[in-house]
Amino acid sequence: MRMVFKNSLLFQPVNIWKGRRKFISKSFSQPILNSFVQYFNENSNVLVKVLRNFNHDLYSVFGRYTFDTFTEAIVGRNYHLQTDLNNKLLEEMDVIQHFLGCEYFVRGCCFGVLMRIKDFLCHGWHALWVILKFRRFLADKVRCRMAEFDKCPVVDSQLSFVDAMLNRKDIFPRKIIETEFILFASAATDTTGNSLVFIFTLLGMYPEIQEKVFEEIVTNIGRDEPIEVDHLTKLKYTERVIFECMRLLPSVTEVSRYISKDIKIGDKTFPKGTNISIYILGVHRNSKYWPNPDKFDPDRFLPEEIAKRPPYAYILFSAGPRNCIGKMFATMSIKVVVANVIRNFRVSSKYRSIDEMEMRCYMTMRTKHDIDCHFTPRD
């Protein structure tokens, strides 16, 4: 991960991280996020066309939507991965996750340098090549944006984080801007793309809930009208469904933290200097906070139900100062896609329980096999 995201927020010490995080967070303010809804809507319209004829990996379909939307919103350029199926960049990126999570890599990390070298020579060169290719591809996008910016500088308080950093090249060298863009593009594509796959699969498993979502969407937006910012706040039941889907199947199943002071929990003390992992999937299915935790119940996210739980019983986007900066970007994008797809398709799935899905998790979680989720155009 350091090779891909070196010098990014992910690995910065607090003295550097704090100022950079504050600077980048300004580019995810609500007015700026509202300006991105047009890109969510336009790209979800392309997605609807793709789903009418899709016959390939669903994770790729939604990952391509997410990538196109993110790059258009942040660097002003759409690379049309949704329709350019010859570009295998996202599929190749999964090679990296597979390498980092597979038995031979973990075994090498745990049981010795010689075994790690052997396994790298057998399997790692391709992963390294993909990493370098991915970095070059995204770095080129920043360079293109930089060239455009040099010709036509934009001075505005409502800028994407790349444009905002380009406006302050005195403190953000090009390499830093490239690295942050690579981090955010990678995180947005994989996590949001996988989440959309899980959401639609669960809607396919629960047609009565899907029908309620459809009715809310048609009532508040209509069958054909463009989706706008004001529509999103009206989709309250849809939002509850989305949150419940992501409670049961979070695309990121754990986060790690470094403890800077002793922390006492119950009768145990975690000492300063310890690295810990927080198992999000376990927290989200803890029966202490989620009665009958495997049951799919969107009403868990009614305001009165939320008030009964501790604030950290739901940590989809992590929590605390190092939570996900892009959580509202992701939530708004997902809501637009769900609205546009459900008003155009009936979704079905043969699964009757999430236990029927065989999962694998490297950096993000997805099924080991092609997921059973089908889209039938509505009349």
Residues in binding site for heme: 324
Q: How far is CA 321 from CA 17, 143, 146, 211, 272, in A?
A: 10, 30, 30, 38, 18
**DSSP letter, residue 10:** G
CA dist., res. 329 & res. 291, Å (int): 30
Annotated binding-site residues read: 324
Contact criterion met (CB below 8 Å) for 207 and 349: no
Closest CA to 340 of 240, 196, 205: 196
Long-range contacts of 4-8 (CB under 8 A, 24+ apart): 4/96, 4/131, 4/134, 4/135, 4/182, 4/186, 5/179, 5/182, 5/183, 5/186, 6/179, 7/175, 7/176, 7/179, 8/179, 8/180, 8/182, 8/183
Count CA within 13 A, CB hemisphere, residue 100: 16
Give the residue carrying structure tokens 């910016």: 149
Closest CA to 57 of 339, 367, 334, 330: 367
Q: What are phi and psi of 315, to 5 degrees?
A: -130, 50
Q: What are phi and psi of 276, to 5 degrees?
A: -125, 155
CA dist., res. 372 & res. 364, Å (int): 19
Q: What are phi and psi of 345, to 5 degrees?
A: -135, 150
CA dist., res. 263 & res. 270, Å (int): 5
CA dist., res. 139 & res. 375, Å (int): 35
